[in-house]
Structure 1
């Protein structure tokens, strides 16, 4: 799985942080969110006091790939700055299964796109 943290500036510029996820321990940062997954398209669950600290979704090792691309959902807006974390975070089997059971969301991946001459940088702070 991959998590996308999407930011939009007031002037409409987009930046996305991608985080790969692998099978492992329960992801505490996403525990409450996965306990309240919406089962229909317009269903919203907003448990009182539920907050996700986005920094807890990132891996400890901060190496990342950087490139210019597009959004992965329509209208697939171009000119998006991507930062894809090199190292994955863990997500429990049960959390992955809960996501996979959502009837309206799977499959939800965009087909692999060609590189089209873009440069991909590896940043290793």
Structure 2
């Protein structure tokens, strides 16, 4: 990914449930965070994709590729998995329309000065996929923060 004239690289992703970002005062059922770093391994950006339940025929190819999810309090070892994160970006229309602002990580160390990108479109999943997501990650969101002096741009 490239922004502000520099390349950043995906270093990891995780899911919060419910979402950490609100749109018109409403939380989505979950939110995927894709954390990006610079070449020097400095945290630089997060793409936050809100996740909601779509019509009955909705099924996310991104979520489907993950296979069965491990329950949030299960202590089993999980084998590594090749994940195509671009599927999630494609399923929300690419990064054609998004909100952006400077903020911080929402998990420790809560580093500040990162650029957030929040696509306007939700990633739609089936009800069964949402059940899987919530079994793996629930009540894992950060308390809503004040906007303070952050500009939020579209």
- TM-score (norm. length: structure 1): 0.81
2:47 is matched with 17
1:81 and 1:42 mapped to 2: Cα distance? 33
- Larger RCO (CA within 8 A; separation ≥ 6): 1
1:90 is matched with 124
Q: Deviations over 1:15-69 (max 9, x none)?
A: 100111110212112213142436546644236xx43222210211620011000
Stretches of structure 2 that go unaligned for 5 or more consecutive residues are: 1-29
1:30 is matched with 63
Matches within 5 A, 1:1-125: 1-11=30-40, 12-24=42-54, 25-37=58-70, 40=73, 43-46=76-79, 50-58=81-89, 59-60=92-93, 62-102=96-136, 105-122=137-154
Q: Secondary structure at the match of 1:108?
A: coil
- Larger relative strand fraction: 2
Q: Judging changes above 3 Å, is the alpha-carbon distance between structure 1 residues 21 and 39 closer, same or farther for their aligned structure 2 residues?
A: closer
Stretches of structure 1 that go unaligned for 5 or more consecutive residues are: none
Contact 1:34–1:98 (CA<8 Å) still a contact in 2? no
Residues paired across the two proteins, number? 118
